[in-house]
Structure 1
Amino acid sequence: MHRLNLAQANTLIEAALAKGAELGLKPLTVTIHDPGGYLIACQRQDGASNMRVKLAGGKAAGALALGVSSRTIGDMAVDRPHFIAAVDTMSEGGMVPAAGGVIICDGSGTVVGAIGVTGDTSDNDEACALAAIEAAGLRAKN
């Protein structure tokens, strides 16, 4: 497997939204991207603002662009704000330097895509992304 398929993307979305419901979170938006950063699937819960699709996508696409989670990009932005600002202007899907974007790997460690979650606190967004990856039998890139 070199990329997530639509069935896997939908499984990831359902699992992320289920975790959000379990935690009683605000309305979430979840995007799933292939290894090139292109959107495979997206769902925006009722009540989620319209900008959330771009925010979730920016978390996932940014993670793929730099090869690290969007949480790590947020840490990088503190240390090297000019670098992150410059890379953001070059990236296709934008870049959101806040937790919630996680690279997804298969069992052998090959990158197969990424998930972006937004709508609640960044920590809660990331918790939903990680729960979804685990529920789908995949691995988050460390």
Structure 2
Amino acid sequence: MTTLNLDQANQIIDGALARSREAGYKPMAIAVLDDAGHLKAFQREDGASMFRFDIARAKAWGAVGMGASSRTLAERAKGNPNFFVSLAATADGKFLAQAGAVLIRDASGHVVGAIGASGGTGDEDEEICAAGVRAAGLRVG
């Protein structure tokens, strides 16, 4: 199994921001975490609000911690809201089950991290995350 390195994390962010700019989305913040939930790289575009980092990181942290995209977690939360509220409380606010984060997988399919974005709609955030992962030659999980 491989690990996510800093060069890959920066490539992911560059690819995500390129897609965001190409689509004309609002200013974004993007957080890339390794498979243990540690911040590997982060960028906040000029004009993105101060909350964007915390939101992007919390989406990615939840995804890597639960082994599923934040969209999937949001769907699961609908059927079990008390559990997901408890998760957020247990995680000291670092867990957010809202669309906008995807898992990062290596060529073998192993989870090596997650990327979360904040600034647009959940769909826009998720779209640029997936584009960033692909731009770095990795797989979206």
TM-score normalised per structure 2: 0.96
Map of 1:30 onto structure 2: 30
- In structure 2, C-alpha distance between the alignment counterparts of 1:104 and 1:26, rounded to whole Å: 24
Q: Which contiguous aligned blocks of 4+ residues in structure 1 show a shift greater than 4 angstroms? A: none
Question: SS at the partner of 2:55?
Answer: helix
Question: SS at the partner of 1:115?
Answer: strand
Deviations 1:65-124 (A, max 9, x none): 111100011111111110101111222661111111111010001111110111000000
Greater mean deviation of Cα atoms: 52-61 or 73-82: 73-82
CA deviation after TM superposition for structure 1 residue 4, in Å: 1.0
TM-score normalised per structure 1: 0.95
- In structure 2, C-alpha distance between the alignment counterparts of 1:63 and 1:70, rounded to whole Å: 5
- In structure 1, C-alpha distance between the alignment counterparts of 2:106 and 2:98, rounded to whole Å: 24
What is the RMSD computed on CA atoms of the aligned residues? 1.2
Identity %: 45
- In structure 2, C-alpha distance between the alignment counterparts of 1:127 and 1:103, rounded to whole Å: 13
Unaligned runs of 5+ in 1: none
One-letter code aligned to 1:114: A
- In structure 1, C-alpha distance between the alignment counterparts of 2:37 and 2:48, rounded to whole Å: 22
Unaligned runs of 5+ in 2: none
